[in-house]
Structure 1
Amino acid sequence: MNSLDWAADFLDRLSPDIAVIQIDIPSFKLWQIESHAWQRFAELAMQQNLRWAAGWAEQMQNRFFINAGFEKHGEYILLRTIINSSNPELPSQATVYPAANRSERHTQDMFGIKFIGHPDNRRWTRHQGWIEANYPLRKDFPVQGAPVGITPPDVDYPFIKSHGAGVYEIPVGPVHAGIIEPGHFRFQAVGELILNLEERLGYVHKGIEKIAEGREPESLARLAGRVSGDATVGHCWAACMAMEQAADVKIPPRAALIRGILAERERVANHMGDMGAICNDVAFVFGQMQFTRLRELWLRTNAKVFGHRLLMDKIVPGGVACDLSDESCALIKKDLAELRAELTEVILALDLNTSLEDRLYTAGFLSEETAAAFGTVGYVGRASGQDKDVRRDAPYAPYDQVTVKVAVENQGDIASRFWVRYKETGAALRLIENFIDRLDAGDLRTEWQVPPAGSEGLGIVEGWRGEIISHVRFDADNKIARFYPRDPSQLNWPALEKLVLNNIVPDFPVCNKSVNCSYSGNDL
């Protein structure tokens, strides 16, 4: 059944149980339902194997729009319901989709919306930064807030407790010994065996959604590129795609190809960094040194060709802010050949190292069922049999011109997450080469058109960590009314709590690194 068939068939199954209003938006499907059917829709969607992909809210005068994204076979449905601000509540979809849990808690904290029947209504995003009656994403809340001095410590958060002979707790973070961002991990263990892990994030909440309000497109693109600095290309592209949809702007073919080159270079740099870090966490220093060296050379080429090691601010509304000369294309192709040759030798050394295999194989196991239940994406999902990639399944320019080879493993362990990264690196090198060969002379940017007030767009791209979803709504005068970016980490963080179970405590660092979620991308 193709995507159009399943969507039409699903609509037939919903009727007459749920009345659906189909709203005509050219760039995506928008279905609106009554709030009392919110959970029932999720139940029927689960029965039809739809994946829950994202959830967010927005305030429109005295009403709240509640949104949830669903996907199947590369077709995305944006589900919406509207509730009155005088009694903001609706049934929880987290009772059906575990992936919706933290998203609903974020909406609860930021808007004061109650999700009836939610399995866990503890504060998630807010910590102690705002008093109980203040909801930072409501329109009447000032962007500077109402600071009253030093924020009190969040010492009373009710972590889950374990009891029994020999059971003890290990608190890790939120401040870590290395350079990673703050996040708290609370373990219960017996001996070295992990019985339970609970995450507490949100320590680097930046107010991204709030400070996006009132910005113009150029400014929003710069902000989106800073949602998670290591995914600056992916987030900026998704935000620009959403804005371009809302404004009915089509980017030039040359700009699309350069965006693809930027995205794949970002993917390669981060995968090499991660593969090296996985080696480092099991004391295989040779691997860590080699991947770090190769990543550094790659980043130096980024700086030489594009003017920025991490490629920040190179994607702009309507196109790109950089071009590629013939000399730059030749340098990149030389880079590709050298990296392929080096990787062949490094990987051979890793593949023959039995002590490395002993640490990576079977450790950090994430089953296909658990990966599907939490909606995991990117290399985390694909290492556990989730055969999904936006570039192939819902292709956008320039990926609609090429064949994207998707690496999928089903062992679900750290080794699988390593090898998916390696295979994706090879595929990315081929894509970069292909995009360069397709570069024809042309414009880099389309002139911007001011969209009508209320126009909205949904940008969906395959970032290096996985699927990124950005929603943008415009106000009058080219100003942003609402921006919501869903980083892949929001779906992948909960999987870490599951894949460490029955592993030993000393294996947590490498389990964590094999997932490598973004704190910043999660803590908007």
Structure 2
Amino acid sequence: MKQGTPSTLTDIAAAGRRAEHHAPFIRAAVPTDSWNLAVEHLAEGRLTLLDLWGEAGAVHIALLDEEAGEAAVASLECPDGRYPSVGRRHPPAIRLERAAADLFGLVPQDTPDPRAWLDHGQWGFVHPLGTRMPAAASPYHFLPAEGGSLHQIAVGPVHAGIIEPGHFRFTASGETIVRLEERLGYTHKGIEGLMAGAGIDRAAGLAGRTSGDSTVAYAFAFARAAEAALGIAVPPRAAWLRALMAELERLANHLGDIGAVCNDAAFPLMLAHCGVLRERVLRASDAAFGHRLMRDRIVPGGTAADLAEDGAAAIRALLANIRARFPALVRLYDNTASLQDRTVGTGRLSTALARQYGAGGYVGRASGRRFDARRAFACPPYDELAFDVPVLAEGDVNARVWIRIREVEQSLSLIEQILRGLPAGPVRADVTASDGPREGAATREGVATREGMAIVEGFRGDVLVWLRIAATGLVERCRLRDPSWFQWPLLEAAIEGNIVADFPLCNKSFNCSYSGCDL
């Protein structure tokens, strides 16, 4: 947060005790009154919730002042394991509170929803990252719906093909959906527990496996958080290569999604053509960086590999191919009446809900929320590149497709600019603390711990990573927040009033991550 900037965030942090080594944003341990003030600002729309997470004896909220373009973290000590619920006044926090309760045993007082989220009663104990206690499975009760002639449809958690597991409970009146409730947690992998005590490089690898289709975005965010904590400057060439990988990942996923949405609207021709283009992006990524998904290529300090000798030529050929073929696909989508009949007006998400939940990516921008971390928290080279942030107001499936189309066009332009401006030089700076429990950069200055936070724009929206590094150079606590935490509840809202047969179409237009929310 900029020093001296008057904002609601300043008021909240001023009453607390600032963490001395938390970069680049302020983190303050606040009293209960300031915590409640933050909740009030969230409830009244003056602030946006970026994340809520816990640890033993404390709970944290990351807050965004969109008007001022500032972010900060407020921390509340809760030695008795209880704290005033944020979700009681601000519903976007509810699932985050449920996850913190499952992992740490932190109890949000007066919460509207005390049910478990990640814990399905199969661990044999509760609170794995807090005080472990034996526990047995208990039944899970879905929320009720009232009205005549209602029936329920249970879908999942096992789905066809390679779709990740998740349970969807529909309450319908005939074919019209009255309520949808999701239950996730089936892909919980204990990634935050695995982070604790890991070296920086090991933790970076785990971060990149949070959600496989966003491996670049997560590695990017983790690396920037670690670099902020340790005060490491990344070589300019590495910064530009990171952006190149991020845009290639965005390009591949948007192309895949456009085809998949059309396929769920019974138009598989678009899936076939978009699938060919996505495959070519993956092959070019492999030629450029040695891995189709570019996994483990972004690391703290820079990148693990330079652009291959023939990598730039492969990417330029890719761009030429997409520019030649993609406009015809856009016209095909726009001029197919049967396809438009399925996508236009279906699954509308209101602007008010998108803003309340801080929806990022194509979900938020298709409903009028103009937020992009590349613009709001511009890091090199995005602060030097020219690009637009497309925004629509309709909030339906069609709008979410068009946002993807426009973002494909912007990514093509960004990739061309990056290749033209790519500077020479090294691709990685030394990260002393990554070697493990020995004296290193963090201890030489006599600092017990260092903390960093980063917000990076993934293809779904903003990915947040908060990191605490101990004096040993090992990770003490790491929080990874996927944009889907705020998008899954919005899918429940958008599907109400639509027919059951349109759920796959609406679901794919959101394309939320299961794994990213299951940690």
Instruction: Give the whole-Å Cα distance in 2 for the aligned partners of 1:466 and 1:235.
Output: 11
Instruction: Determine if contact 2:366/2:391 at 8 Å carries over to the other structure.
Output: yes
Paired position in structure 2 for 1:126: 119
Q: Per-residue deviation at 1:165?
A: 2.9
Instruction: Give the whole-Å Cα distance in 2 for the aligned partners of 1:444 and 1:321.
Output: 8
Paired position in structure 1 for 2:497: 502
Instruction: Determine if contact 2:45/2:356 at 8 Å carries over to the other structure.
Output: no
Gaps of 5+ in 1: none
Change (3 A) 1:34 1:221: same
Change (3 A) 1:338 1:53: same
Instruction: Give the whole-Å Cα distance in 1 for the aligned partners of 2:105 and 2:319.
Output: 50
Change (3 A) 1:107 1:345: same
Matched letter for residue 386 of structure 1: R
Written as runs of structure 1 = structure 2, the 5 A alignment for 1:461-476 is 461-476=456-471
Are 2:487 and 1:492 aligned? yes
324-333 or 65-74: bigger deviation: 324-333
Paired position in structure 2 for 1:136: 128
Find 2:16's aligned residue among 11, 17, 20: 20
Q: Per-residue deviation at 1:122?
A: 0.6
Instruction: Give the whole-Å Cα distance in 2 for the aligned partners of 1:14 and 1:486.
Output: 23
Paired position in structure 1 for 2:93: 100
Instruction: Determine if contact 1:68/1:80 at 8 Å carries over to the other structure.
Output: yes
Find 2:55's aligned residue among 36, 54, 58: 58
Are 2:363 and 1:380 aligned? yes
Change (3 A) 1:251 1:12: closer
Matched letter for residue 30 of structure 1: R
1:8 aligns to what SS in structure 2? coil
Q: Per-residue deviation at 1:374?
A: 1.8
Gaps of 5+ in 2: 434-441
Change (3 A) 1:9 1:263: closer
Paired position in structure 2 for 1:260: 243
Instruction: Determine if contact 2:9/2:72 at 8 Å carries over to the other structure.
Output: no
Instruction: Give the whole-Å Cα distance in 2 for the aligned partners of 1:189 and 1:7.
Output: 50
Paired position in structure 1 for 2:106: 113
Encode CA deviations 1:412-445: one digit per residue, 9 max, x unaligned.
0000000001101110111111111111210110
Written as runs of structure 1 = structure 2, the 5 A alignment for 1:86-97 is 87-97=80-90
Change (3 A) 1:209 1:468: same
Written as runs of structure 1 = structure 2, the 5 A alignment for 1:357-372 is 357-372=340-355
Instruction: Give the whole-Å Cα distance in 1 for the aligned partners of 2:325 and 2:293.
Output: 22
Instruction: Give the whole-Å Cα distance in 2 for the aligned partners of 1:164 and 1:434.
Output: 57
Find 2:397's aligned residue among 393, 399, 414: 414
Matched letter for residue 394 of structure 1: F
Paired position in structure 2 for 1:68: 61
Are 2:177 and 1:158 aligned? no
Are 2:195 and 1:212 aligned? yes
Paired position in structure 1 for 2:337: 354
Instruction: Give the whole-Å Cα distance in 1 for the aligned partners of 2:509 and 2:476.
Output: 37
Encode CA deviations 1:219-248: one digit per residue, 9 max, x unaligned.
111111100000000001111111111111
Q: Per-residue deviation at 1:213?
A: 1.0
Instruction: Determine if contact 2:285/2:315 at 8 Å carries over to the other structure.
Output: no
Written as runs of structure 1 = structure 2, the 5 A alignment for 1:174-193 is 174-193=157-176
Matched letter for residue 506 of structure 1: A
Q: Per-residue deviation at 1:130?
A: 3.5
Instruction: Give the whole-Å Cα distance in 2 for the aligned partners of 1:472 and 1:111.
Output: 17
1:175 aligns to what SS in structure 2? coil
Paired position in structure 1 for 2:29: 32
Matched letter for residue 8 of structure 1: P
174-183 or 500-509: bigger deviation: 174-183
Written as runs of structure 1 = structure 2, the 5 A alignment for 1:381-400 is 381-400=364-383
Encode CA deviations 1:278-313: one digit per residue, 9 max, x unaligned.
011011011111101111111111122211111111
Change (3 A) 1:250 1:131: same
Alignment root-mean-square deviation, CA? 2.0
2:54 aligns to what SS in structure 1? strand
Instruction: Determine if contact 2:23/2:453 at 8 Å carries over to the other structure.
Output: no
Are 2:73 and 1:78 aligned? yes
Change (3 A) 1:336 1:12: closer
Q: Per-residue deviation at 1:446?
A: 0.3
Change (3 A) 1:10 1:339: same
Instruction: Determine if contact 2:346/2:397 at 8 Å carries over to the other structure.
Output: yes
Paired position in structure 2 for 1:41: 38
Encode CA deviations 1:131-189: one digit per residue, 9 max, x unaligned.
56x31112x65xxx98x9xx96x6x2111223443210000001112320110000000
Matched letter for residue 193 of structure 1: T
Instruction: Determine if contact 1:212/1:480 at 8 Å carries over to the other structure.
Output: yes
Change (3 A) 1:480 1:12: closer
Change (3 A) 1:196 1:7: farther
Instruction: Determine if contact 1:36/1:90 at 8 Å carries over to the other structure.
Output: no
Q: Per-residue deviation at 1:404?
A: 3.0
Q: Per-residue deviation at 1:4?
A: 5.2
Instruction: Give the whole-Å Cα distance in 1 for the aligned partners of 2:140 and 2:469.
Output: 37
Find 2:183's aligned residue among 195, 200, 207: 200
Instruction: Give the whole-Å Cα distance in 2 for the aligned partners of 1:407 and 1:117.
Output: 40
Instruction: Determine if contact 2:262/2:270 at 8 Å carries over to the other structure.
Output: yes
Q: Per-residue deviation at 1:45?
A: 4.4
Are 2:417 and 1:434 aligned? yes
Instruction: Give the whole-Å Cα distance in 2 for the aligned partners of 1:11 and 1:485.
Output: 22
Instruction: Determine if contact 2:289/2:311 at 8 Å carries over to the other structure.
Output: no
> Normalization by structure 2: what TM-score?
0.93
Instruction: Give the whole-Å Cα distance in 2 for the aligned partners of 1:387 and 1:95.
Output: 27
Paired position in structure 2 for 1:339: 322
Matched letter for residue 121 of structure 1: P
Aligned length: 504
Find 1:305's aligned residue among 274, 277, 288: 288
Paired position in structure 2 for 1:234: 217
> Normalization by structure 1: what TM-score?
0.92
451-460 or 276-285: bigger deviation: 451-460
